[in-house]
């Protein structure tokens, strides 16, 4: 579990909301986000991503980090796990980290 300041958590949640909305606008037909108003993303490589989207063919994971979470052991472990997931099918899977 990442410990963020209240301000950091607010930035994180706003970033997740913005990126999830943008994913829909960019043609990702199914978007899950780790927010109360969205369906929860699936567990991937033992972690729940902030955003998981697919369009029937390709898959996308986005992790939204903040200055107080980017270098934590948890964030680094997630990045490694999601990178492995992407490498299993690099032409059909995308993984991004965004700093909010």
pLDDT band at 1 (very low <50, low <70, confident <90, very high): low
43, part of any domain? yes
pLDDT band at 19 (very low <50, low <70, confident <90, very high): very high
Number of domains in the chain: 1
Query: How many residues are listed for the chain in this entry?
Result: 100
pLDDT band at 18 (very low <50, low <70, confident <90, very high): very high
Q: How far apart are CA 85 and CA 87, in angstroms?
A: 6
Domain that holds residue 58: 6-99
Question: Cα 93 to chain center, whole Å?
Answer: 13
1, part of any domain? no
Judge whether residue 77 has pLDDT over 90: yes
């Amino acid at each position: 579990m990442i410990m963020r300041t209240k301000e950091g958590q607010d930035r994180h949640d706003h970033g997740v909301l913005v990126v999830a909305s943008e994913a829909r606008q960019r043609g990702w037909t199914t978007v899950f986000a780790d927010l109360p108003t969205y369906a929860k993303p699936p567990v991937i490589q033992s972690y729940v991503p902030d955003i998981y989207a697919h369009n029937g063919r390709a898959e996308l994971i986005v992790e939204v980090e903040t200055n107080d979470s980017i270098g934590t052991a948890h964030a680094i472990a997630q990045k490694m796990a999601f990178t492995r997931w992407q490498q299993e099918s690099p032409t059909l899977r995308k993984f991004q980290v965004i700093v909010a």
